[in-house]
Each structure stands twice: as C-alpha cells, then as structure tokens.
Amino acid sequence: MNKILKYFVAFFSLIIIFLGTEVTYLSFQNKHKEEKNIFVKSIGLPDLSISTEVRYIRHRSLSDIFSIFNEDPVSFSHYLTTFVYAPSNVVNITPNTIKVH
Amino acid sequence: MKQLFNLFLFEYALSSLKRRGAKNIFILIIFFILIFLLSCVFFISNSIKYELNLTLKSLPDIVMQKLQAGRVQNLNIDRISKIANIPGVSEVTPRVWGYYYFKNAGVNFSVVGVSRFSPNYKKSIQKIVNKFDKKIFDKSDTMIVGDGVKKTLEKNYYNKYFDFIEPNGGFKKVYIAGTFKGATSLESNDIILLSNKNARKIFGMKNNEATDITLRVPNPKEVAKIASKLELMYPDSRMITKNDLKISYNNIFDYKSGIFLAMFIIVLFTFFIIIYDKASGLSSDEKREIGVQKAVGWKIGDVILQKFYEASIISVVSFFLAIMFAIFYVYILDAPLIRDIFTGYSILKPAFKLPFIVDFQTIILIFFATVPLYLAATIIPSWVAATLEADEVIR
Amino acid sequence: MINVTKVNKVFNAGKINQTIALQDISFNVKDGNLTILKGPSGSGKSTLLAIVAALLKPTSGDVEVDGKKIAKLPDNFASLYRRENIGFVFQKFNLVPTLSVFENVILPLIPSNLPRVEIENKAKKSMEKFSIYHKKNDLAKSLSGGEQQRVAIARALVNDPKIILADEPTANLDTKLSTNFLDFIKELHSEKKTILIATHDPIFFNLPFVSEEIEVIKGIMK
C-alpha cells in the first residue's frame, strides 16, 4: 500500500467506525415508548405540542374546522414565508365586490 | 473479483484525485452539503412522524364532535348511553378539554379534564409524572402540568398554584401536584391535566356538557362502519377516526419538508452545474492523460474503471461523511436552526429530543438520487474521450 | 518481424483540408534488426510509427506484426497488443507531468493487475537500467530533459516488449545526451530487440549496427 492509499483507508474507516458507534449508541437509547403511550392514552389528544400560540395548530384535527382557512395561506403562524412575502391585506377585509346597479 | 478490483489502479485513481486537489475538494464539499441537508430534513421529518405514529395506537379510535352552524360546539352527554349500545363499541367517554389563553405570556395551554382519579388511573399517571406530591394530589383542586407550562407559570411567579380566570370573572385556584416527565415533552409541554369538574368550571360549561366524545372500537375493520352509523344517528356530528389523524400528521410534515426543500434549491443548482460541467467535457490535460494511458496500452475499460474509482471515492466518501454528520447533528445536537422550520414559531418551546430511527429507505433514496448521477456525469465524457483515436499523443 | 504492405493514410478524407500523409508504403523489419526511418519533419514518419503501434488505423493497406494483422484491430485489442508488444518512446516523452517517476514508469503495468512485488521489481529493474532510480519519487515535471527521456525509455521498456518504436527521440536533447541515447539503443540492439526509429537527426545515419535506413519524403518512400 502506498502512503495516500493508507491515508485514505484510515480516513474512510474512521468515518465508518464513527458512524457505527453513533448508530449503536443512539439505537440503545431509551425511546420512552411506554411513557409516551401512557401519556397519550391518559390525555387522548393528538399532535405534538409545537406552535402553541395558535389553537388550530395544536390538536389541529380536533379543533374547529374553518378557522384554519380564515387566514391567507402565507400567514405567519403556519407558514414560514412571511419573512419574504407578507400576506395580502385583503385577507381580513370582508370582500364587498357586489355592486348594486 | 480480480477483474473488478485493481489495487494499483485504485491507488492511481487516488493520486489522480490528489493531483487535482482543490477542484475535487470543492466538489466533495458541495456533495457533502447536498447530502447533509437532504438527509437532515428527511431524518427530522421521519422522526417526527415516527414519534406521532408511535403513540397513534393509544389514541381513541373515533372522536365525535358536534357542529352547529359550521362551528364545533359542546355536546350533551345524554348521547352516551345510546352510543354505548352500538355493537362493536367497547368504551365511550365524554371529554372536557380546550385551550386556556394565558394573557401574561401570550400562550395557549391545553387544558384537559379527566374524571376524578380512579385508582387505576392514578397508577398509570404516576409512571409519567416527575416530582409527584401525593399529599397535594389527594386534595381536590390539583393539576399536573407539562414542563413548558411549569416554566411559564414560574416566570409569572406562580410557583405552587395557578389562578385560572373563570368566564364570570372569578378566580379558580388550582395547585400544581407534579410535572410530566421530560421524555414526554414533545407531547406534554403545554398540557394541564385536572379534574373534569375544575375543567368545566374554568371553561364555564354545564355539568351535562362535554367537548367531545371518544369511542374505543377494538376491531379496526369496524371503525368506518361505526363512524358512518353515528353520522346517521347524529347528522350534526363530525367523526374523526384514527386514520384521519394519521393522514393529517403526514400532511403537515411532508409539507414542511417541502418548503425546506424549496429553499435548498440553490445547493441543488450548484450540484447540477458541477454535473453539467463534468458531463460537458474534460480539460485538455485530462484528455492528454487519457491519450498517454491509451498509448501505453490501457484499454477503454481501464480508463473508465479509473474514472469510476475516482467518482466513487468522491461520492461515497462524501455520502458517508454527510450521513455521519447528519445523524450527529440531528440526534445528538438536536438539529439547531433546522428544527425551527419544523417546530415553527412558538413561545412554549418543547425540548426537542427526536427519537432515533435508522430509516434505510430514506438513506437508500438519497444515495440513488445523487451518487449514480455523479458517476454517470464523470464516466460518460471519459468514455467518449477514451474511444477517440489515441493519436493525439504523437502530435 | 514487422511487415508493412502498401499502407496509405489520408487525414480528413473527402473534406476541404484533406491531407495525404502516407502513400503506398511497404517495408519490413526483421526480428532483432534496427531500422531508421529518416526524412524531414512533416514527411509522415510519425504517422507511420503510430500505424505500426496501432495508435492509428491506415486508410488502406496492411500491417503484420509476428504474423498478426494489426491494421484493423478493434480498439481494445489494439491496446492489448501495445501493452504486450510495443515500447513507444515519444517525441515529447509524453510523461504525465504531475505523476512521480515511479508512477510514470508503472503506468503501462497498472491495468495488468499483477502482484505488487512483481510490478515493483519490474519498475525497479527498468529504472536502474536507465539510471533514474535515484529520482524515483520526484515529479516528472521537475526533471531535466535528459532525465525525462530516461524515464520515457524506462516506461517503454518496463513491459519488456519485443519491439521498440522511437519517434524523434533526440529532437529535444543536446548532443551529449543524444550520444547517451545512442548508447542505450546500442545496448537494446545487443539484447535482440526489434527497433524502429523515426528521426532526421544525422547522428543516427550510417551507424555500423543499423540494418536498414528507409527514407520517407512527403509520405512517399524513396
């Protein structure tokens, strides 16, 4: 084996060893399956507790059915796009386009 | 085997990579970033889905809600006896739950009522509660709260109890009997668990009212049938089955990874430019080298094999390196920055400890989406150059 | 034994820049003989050598080496033929500048997938023979012209070929180094190699050990 091949083999096996250790270490970690199931069973509500400011995202499937459509799809709470593109201001104005002749 | 692997040729490929070091390191880095970001997104969204699906089986099979004028309303609990008579339904429970808006912090808590603590229930609750104070718990006005709730309350100087504001303006003092274990944080962070009686008081509900009714149906094949039966019995109701929940889970996180992947398009473009550059031809140096190789007796296959080794070294090394770092980043460092895309903006941040799963399907998908593309882009032009007449060297 | 019969080579046939490089060339070189192809530059000597080495295919005519027709060999067989029979010393040496001397010398051996010891022995023997072994780890581009040529010869001979082809081997060397090269050729000749040298350097003319001199002018044999 020449030098560069030795370096390469050493480097590559280092990656593999590290990957292997990582995977074994992580897969022996307790996933708390039982606790989580007991918890969900005693609460009975779905979803993860993220985005708690908006009630139709927390337990979204059980929340009221229309409020999720009240806002424009680009609005902040469930879409990330608002920092580049703001929701239209028309969204909160009841449209009044019917004109009486 | 002897034909397939030639150690000397492999060494030659390695030193050839080293000779064009700067360029190859650049490709390696782009390749690394590409696979790293791809796998991070997939790992996170897969883990969240796994977490959700892990507990899916513990959820009620059917949730029944009442709609009035298109809005969800409280329902009367006299429906229970009628529903319990449907064959196939093993358990019917009225539930009281809802959101409590805590103005000082601008946060919604999820308040969940339970029928006051039967001994069986107490036992299972004890398994998931930290710092459990039995003395307080046995008193009537107590609650168990999630980590996030506890922290928010402490910030507002509620260390031992909390004053809920009732709809009529009165205060309801409830003592904290314990907090849920950190392991359940992703589910329990914003939860307040107290008795049905107190929950009704806080929400201003009548004693014969419930938020919704949950059903247990032991045979999963009967769920749809029973749901449609209930809809006939109560046309004002909305049925949510476990399967609906599963679909809604998948939707939201698929869609979030979609947004991320859209942002990631720049890296993809860089990758494609590299591939285009590779595929559109070799430098004159490289062509000349191939000419020399052919002149001293290399076959087309040998030249291609060398290029194959080179491309495999680059792509396989960066692939493994990226997977290694992605696992480290997502599961050990808990994905700083990228996790915000998935959790969104939130005052009550849960401890974001994702369950580790090796998703071979995803890894294989990422592998086949990137590596063969690069291999082909490297090998095809070399093949073209190698099949031309090797007379360039004699000029 | 190299038999060349009625070889023609036309570049860019049918196009406006069509050039006739070789016209009806016929000659033969017996085993162990040293033959000089002489003529001014641009007369088609190099093209002829390339055809003998199966680097180029003649437009018409035949080339036979040891009874095997090589004029129309498919590419892979041509490579194999070169690897086993031909040692080619190019005019510009054609070393890979960024490789070390050792790597340049073993270049023809790499695809053969021989055991390491065997490859290293062969390379060492060849490098020692042309006294370049002490520079084995230097990059080819850092060598002087004479050293580069010795590497090129070492590479050409590392496979122990029967036939050695040299294309203007002294064009880039001064007189002293050219004389050195002549010594190498003499030595190879004494080892019964078949040698074909294309050159216009008068140093090769009228040498006692040259068996034949063939003159090519504007693609036509004199």
Distance, in Å, from the CA atom of A67 to the CA atom of B71, rounded to the nearest integer, reads 9
> Which of B163, B167, B154, B244 has the alpha carbon at shortest distance from B204?
B167
> Which of B388, B278, A7, B15 has the alpha carbon at shortest distance from C96?
B15
- Residue B306 confidence (pLDDT) above 70: yes
CB pair distance less than 8 Å for A46 and B70: no
CB pair distance less than 8 Å for B54 and A31: yes
- Residue A69 confidence (pLDDT) above 70: no
CB pair distance less than 8 Å for C111 and B3: no
Which 93-152 residues of chain C touch chain B by CB within 8 A? 94-96, 98-99, 103, 106-111, 113, 116, 119
A48 vs B51, B107, B327: nearest CB: B51
Q: Which of A89-98, B175-184, B290-299, C29-38 has the lowest mean pLDDT?
A: A89-98
C63-100 pLDDT tens trace: 988 888 888 888 888 888 888 888 888 888 888 888 88
Is the sign of the CA dihedral B339, B343, B349, B353 positive or negative? negative
The DSSP output letter for B328 is I
Q: What is the pLDDT of residue A90?
A: 42
Q: Which of A67-81, C78-92, C139-153 has the lowest mean pLDDT?
A: A67-81
Q: What is the mean pLDDT of residues B37-61?
A: 85
Residue B314 CB neighbour total at 10 angstroms:
20
Q: Which of A71-85, B65-79, C138-152 has the lowest mean pLDDT?
A: A71-85
What pairs with residue B15 in β-bridges? none
B221-279 pLDDT tens trace: 888 889 888 988 998 888 888 887 777 777 667 767 777 777 777 778 888 888 887 77
B91-102 pLDDT tens trace: 898 999 988 888
Distance, in Å, from the CA atom of B287 to the CA atom of B392, rounded to the nearest integer, reads 9
Distance, in Å, from the CA atom of C173 to the CA atom of B131, rounded to the nearest integer, reads 91
**Residue A59 corresponds to which tokens in the numbers above?**
């337990």
- The answer to whether residues B201 and B31 touch, using CB atoms and an 8 Å cutoff, is no
Q: What is the mean pLDDT of residues A42-64?
A: 72
Q: What is the pLDDT of residue A55?
A: 63
Q: Hunting for tokens 């009212």 — which residue is that?
A: B209
| Helix and strand counts by DSSP (H, E) for chain B | 15, 14
From the centroid of its chain, how far is CA B378? 35
**Residue B79 CB partners (closer than 8 Å, separation 6+):** B64, B213, B234
- Residue A82 confidence (pLDDT) above 60: no
Residue A83 CB neighbour total at 10 angstroms:
7
Distance, in Å, from the CA atom of C86 to the CA atom of A85, rounded to the nearest integer, reads 70
Q: What is the mean pLDDT of residues B133-139?
A: 67
| Helix and strand counts by DSSP (H, E) for chain C | 6, 10
CA distances from B78 to B63, B210, B239 (A): 16, 10, 18
- Residue C23 confidence (pLDDT) above 50: yes
Q: What is the pLDDT of residue A19?
A: 93
Q: Are strands B171-180 and B129-130 parallel, antiparallel or unpaired?
A: antiparallel
Q: What is the mean pLDDT of residues B333-351?
A: 75
- The answer to whether residues C46 and C168 touch, using CB atoms and an 8 Å cutoff, is yes
- The answer to whether residues B329 and A22 touch, using CB atoms and an 8 Å cutoff, is no
Which of B101-107's residues contact partners 24+ apart within 8 Å by CB, and which partners? B102/B152, B104/B156, B105/B152, B105/B155, B105/B156, B105/B347, B106/A53, B106/B347, B107/A52, B107/A53, B107/B152, B107/B190, B107/B347, B107/B348
Q: What residue spans define the domains of chain B?
A: 7-54+252-394, 60-241
Distance, in Å, from the CA atom of B41 to the CA atom of C181, rounded to the nearest integer, reads 65
Residue B387 CB neighbour total at 10 angstroms:
13
> Which of B2, B304, B296, B9 has the alpha carbon at shortest distance from C78?
B296
Q: What is the mean pLDDT of residues C96-120?
A: 87
Asked if A6 has any chain B CB less than 8 Å from its own CB, the reply is: no
Q: Are strands B171-180 and B161-165 parallel, antiparallel or unpaired?
A: antiparallel
pLDDT band per the 50, 70, 90 thresholds, residue A88: very low
- Residue C132 confidence (pLDDT) above 70: yes
CB pair distance less than 8 Å for B107 and A52: yes
Q: What is the mean pLDDT of residues C171-189?
A: 85
CB pair distance less than 8 Å for B350 and A39: no
Is the sign of the CA dihedral A51, A53, A57, A58 positive or negative? positive
Q: What is the pLDDT of residue A17?
A: 95
The three-state DSSP-derived secondary structure of B80-108 is: HHHHHCCCCCCEEEEECEEEEEECCCCEE
Reported residue count of chain A is: 101
What is the value of ipTM here, to two decimals? 0.87
CB pair distance less than 8 Å for B296 and C80: no
Q: What is the pLDDT of residue B118?
A: 63
What residues of C are in contact with residue B7 (Cβ under 8 Å)? 116
**Residue B54 CB partners (closer than 8 Å, separation 6+):** A31, A33, A36, A37, B355
CB pair distance less than 8 Å for B295 and C53: yes
Element at B127 (helix H, strand E): helix B119-127
Q: What is the pLDDT of residue A16?
A: 94
**Residue C42 corresponds to which tokens in the numbers above?**
């641009």
Q: What is the mean pLDDT of residues C48-69?
A: 88
Closest Cα in chain B, distance from residue C156 (Å): 8
Closest Cα in chain C, distance from residue B299 (Å): 5
CB pair distance less than 8 Å for A15 and B317: yes
Q: Is B243 helix (H, G, I), strand (E, B) or coil?
A: helix
Distance, in Å, from the CA atom of C156 to the CA atom of C108, rounded to the nearest integer, reads 8
B297 vs C49, C79, C99: nearest CB: C79
Q: Hunting for tokens 């003092």 — which residue is that?
A: B173
Closest Cα in chain B, distance from residue A7 (Å): 10
Q: What is the mean pLDDT of residues B154-174?
A: 90
**Residue C87 corresponds to which tokens in the numbers above?**
């040692």
Q: What residue spans define the domains of chain A?
A: 1-30, 39-95
Is the sign of the CA dihedral B65, B70, B76, B78 positive or negative? negative
Q: What is the pLDDT of residue C19?
A: 86
- Residue A21 confidence (pLDDT) above 60: yes
Chain B interface, mutation test: which of A14, A27, A39, A51, most B Cβ atoms within 10 Å?
A: A39
* B53, amino acid identity: N
Closest Cα in chain B, distance from residue A94 (Å): 18
pLDDT band per the 50, 70, 90 thresholds, residue B50: confident
Q: Which of B1-15, B171-185, B193-207, C36-50 has the lowest mean pLDDT?
A: B1-15
CB pair distance less than 8 Å for B298 and C84: no
- Residue B329 confidence (pLDDT) above 90: yes
**Residue B221 corresponds to which tokens in the numbers above?**
């094949």
Q: What is the pLDDT of residue B136?
A: 67
Can you give the pTM of this predicted structure?
A: 0.79
Average pLDDT, chain B: 84
- Give percent of chain C with pLDDT exceeding 90: 5
Residue B357 CB neighbour total at 10 angstroms:
18
Average pLDDT, chain C: 87
pLDDT band per the 50, 70, 90 thresholds, residue A9: very high
Q: What is the pLDDT of residue B327?
A: 93
Q: What is the pLDDT of residue B96?
A: 92
Q: What is the pLDDT of residue C159?
A: 87
What residues of C are in contact with residue B1 (Cβ under 8 Å)? none
Q: What is the pLDDT of residue B250?
A: 74
> Which of B187, B144, B180, B189 has the alpha carbon at shortest distance from B55?
B187
More confident residue, B305 or B284: B305
The three-state DSSP-derived secondary structure of B173-229 is: EEEEEEEECHHHHHHHCCEEEEEHHHHHHHHCCCCCEECEEEEECCCHHHHHHHHHH
Chain A interface, mutation test: which of B115, B126, B187, most A Cβ atoms within 10 Å?
A: B187
Closest Cα in chain B, distance from residue C93 (Å): 9
Which 54-73 residues of chain A touch chain B by CB within 8 A? 54-55, 57-66
**Residue B209 corresponds to which tokens in the numbers above?**
């009212």
Asked if A32 has any chain B CB less than 8 Å from its own CB, the reply is: yes
Distance, in Å, from the CA atom of B174 to the CA atom of B160, rounded to the nearest integer, reads 9
Q: What is the mean pLDDT of residues C22-31?
A: 88
Q: What is the mean pLDDT of residues C122-126?
A: 90
